[in-house]
Chains A and B, each alone.
Chain A
Amino acid sequence: MPITKTIIKINNLNKSYKKEQVLKELNWQVNQGDIVGLLGKNGAGKSTLLKSLLNIEEIDSGEITLFGEKHQHLTAQIKGRIGYVPQENDEISWLSISDLIKFRKQFYHQWSDEKVAELIERWDINTKKTIAELSPGQVQRVLIILALAPMPELIVFDEPAAALDPAARREFLKEIVSLASDENITIVFSTHIVSDLERVANKVAILEQGKICYFDDLDTTKENVVQLTIRQTDENDIDVPNVLRCRKYQQGQNCVVSKLDQNWLVEMRNKGVEITVTPMGLEDIFLELTL
């Protein structure tokens, strides 16, 4: 077994804006090779978490390490291994794209001109134009190219697909898939487009009330969180283990569980209770877990 390396480690992170505390004693750990989809409702603090992680936002308290180094004191070498695609563009708007690329290249000791050329061609970017002249979707693509050019090992995307149309989103997903073939690469991306996450992520994290309230394998999540339709004839309600919510009907109940208890299921079925197990899509699971 290869040793799993921890890439991101967060201990007791607190972060507030003025009086509002956004992140509360948040703990989280992301390992090498993980492709993590970070879900959360609007205003849950996804961007704040990602910016705090990268020391773009100053934190109130807590400890964050990236590649084992404290995030406030990263060496240039570690910084070069991290790519970030922000939600809002703050690149110099009057430089042409080709000049912007040349400018950014100076800050890295590793930079793939090949990758840049390939993506510019594939994504049809006119490098003579300036950022200000591009559509929001094209700007986002440029930001992605700038983040990927230094061949980073950790890539943080904040709502990468927000400004992209469906075709461009697919192109972007293809790029993530190709990045993910390298087992050393770790990706964290926040999104509210759950179907994107379902394709490429292997882990899903949910940020709610200032904490990572859920973090598990995507496959395990889909296997665990299921809907049960229980038909019963007698009056007594059946106790359902790990239940998230239940709705009663005349002929039984409809429940969602956070973890299906197989032993219980067999036991109930042997008793003659009719139980149908229905898997749930991630969007429904997300809504159930954040109620």
Chain B
Amino acid sequence: MDQFTISPSSGVPIYKQLFSQIERMVLNGYFPVGDHLPSVRQVATNLEVNPMTVSKAYGLLEERGYLTRLRGKGMVVAQRDEAVSQQEKFKMLNKMIEELLIQAQQMGINEQEVIALVAKNATENSPKSKKDKE
């Protein structure tokens, strides 16, 4: 049951690492709606981290609407509005794009070049073009 991985010595607090991991796993359907998440104790023992850290991550996910607490049954993936879910996905991608643009800027590569690079990558890696190559 090693669904989650953490790096304790990273500068990013463990609860934040767990939060973003589970957020991604909910958005990409790894945890479908209604799915039960492992209990706080299970995760804490498995990862050898303080249970409070796990509770904190779960609490934050509940607050953001990803999870719902069911009495006596723990946390389940919440039913969400498709539009909201879509928004969250864009938000997450946006963060990654922002980071990409900053990195590019630092290397002296301008936005137009980045856009061209993304477009090129998209065509090369699309399933269709991969089939063509075969």
Contact = CB atoms under 8 A, between A and B. Distances in A.
B9 A222 contact: no
Interface in B40-56: 40-41, 44-45, 47-53, 56
Interface string A235-279: 000000000000000000000000000000000000000101011
A173 B45 contact: no
A223 B51 contact: no
Interface residues of B, number: 24
A194 B9 CA distance: 8
B29 interface: no
Nearest to B47: A199
Dominant SS among interface residues on chain B: helix
Contacts of A58: none
Given A281-B9, A281-B10, A174 B45 contact: yes
B31 to A, nearest CB: 23
B11 interface: yes
Given A178-B45, A219-B13, A201 B50 contact: yes
A276 B102 contact: yes
A17 B52 CA distance: 39
B45 A177 contact: yes
A223 B13 contact: yes
Contacts of A170: 48
A35 B49 CA distance: 11
A35 B47 CA distance: 17
A202 interface: yes
B11 A202 contact: no
B38 interface: no
27 contacts: A35-B50, A170-B48, A174-B48, A177-B49, A180-B44, A180-B50, A180-B51, A181-B40, A181-B44, A195-B8, A195-B9, A198-B9, A198-B14, A199-B48, A199-B50, A200-B49, A202-B50, A202-B52, A202-B53, A219-B56, A222-B13, A223-B13, A231-B106, A279-B10, A279-B11, A280-B11, A281-B10
Interface of B: 8-16, 40-41, 44-45, 47-53, 56, 102, 105-106
Interface of A: 33, 35, 170, 173-174, 177-178, 180-181, 194-195, 198-202, 218-219, 222-223, 226, 231, 274, 276, 278-285
Given A33-B52, A202-B50, A231-B106, 6 more contacts: A35-B52, A177-B44, A180-B52, A198-B9, A199-B50, A218-B13
